[in-house]
Amino acid sequence: MFNKVSTNFLLSRTKAVVLFFLCLLTKISAEEPLSVGFWNVENLFDLENHPDKNDDEFALGGRKNVTKEIYNKKIKHTAEVLEDLNVDVLGLCEVENKQVLIDLNNAYPKRNYKIVHYESPDERGIDNALFYDPNKFFLSSSRPIVNVLPSGDKTRDILHVEGIYGGNLLHVFVNHWPSNYGGKEKSIPKRASTAKVLIREVLKIMELDSGAEILLVGDFNEDPNDPNIELLLEADLQSLMLPMVDKPKTGTYVYRGKDYLYDQIIVNSGLRDKKGLAILDNSVSILDQPKYRQQEGRYAHYPFRFWAGNRLLGGYSDHLAVKIQIVKLIILN
68-85 and 98-106 are packed helices; what angle lies between their axes, rounded to 10 degrees? 70
The pLDDT assigned to 236 comes to: 95
The pLDDT assigned to 90 comes to: 98
Backbone region of residue 268 per phi and psi (left: phi > 0; alpha: psi in -120 to 50; beta: other values)? beta
Closest CA to 216 of 33, 91, 32: 91
Is residue 81's pLDDT more than 60? yes
The pLDDT assigned to 7 comes to: 42
Geometric angle at alpha carbon 305, from 119 and 156, rounded to 5° = 20
Q: Are 261 and 303 in contact (CB under 8 A)?
A: no
What does the pLDDT look like over 173-211, one tens digit per residue?
999 999 988 788 889 999 999 999 999 999 999 999 999
The pLDDT assigned to 332 comes to: 62
293 secondary structure, DSSP code: B
Closest CA to 150 of 216, 181, 195: 195
The backbone torsions φ and ψ at residue 220, rounded to the nearest 5 degrees and listed phi first, read: -95, -5
* Sequence letter at residue 305: R
Question: Residue 216: in which H helix or E strand, if any?
Answer: strand 213-219
Out of 3.30.300.10, 3.40.1110.10, 3.60.10.10, 3.40.50.720, select the CATH number for domain 29-331.
3.60.10.10
Mean pLDDT of the chain: 91
Q: Would the CA dihedral through 13, 19, 25, 27 be positive or negative?
A: negative
What does the pLDDT look like over 3-13, one tens digit per residue?
433 444 444 45
Q: What is the mean pLDDT of residues 135-141?
A: 98
| Of residues 137 and 2, more confidently modeled | 137
SS3 assignment, position 236: coil
What does the pLDDT look like over 97-120, one tens digit per residue?
999 999 999 999 999 999 999 999
- The ranges assigned to domains in the chain are 29-331
SS3 assignment, position 199: helix
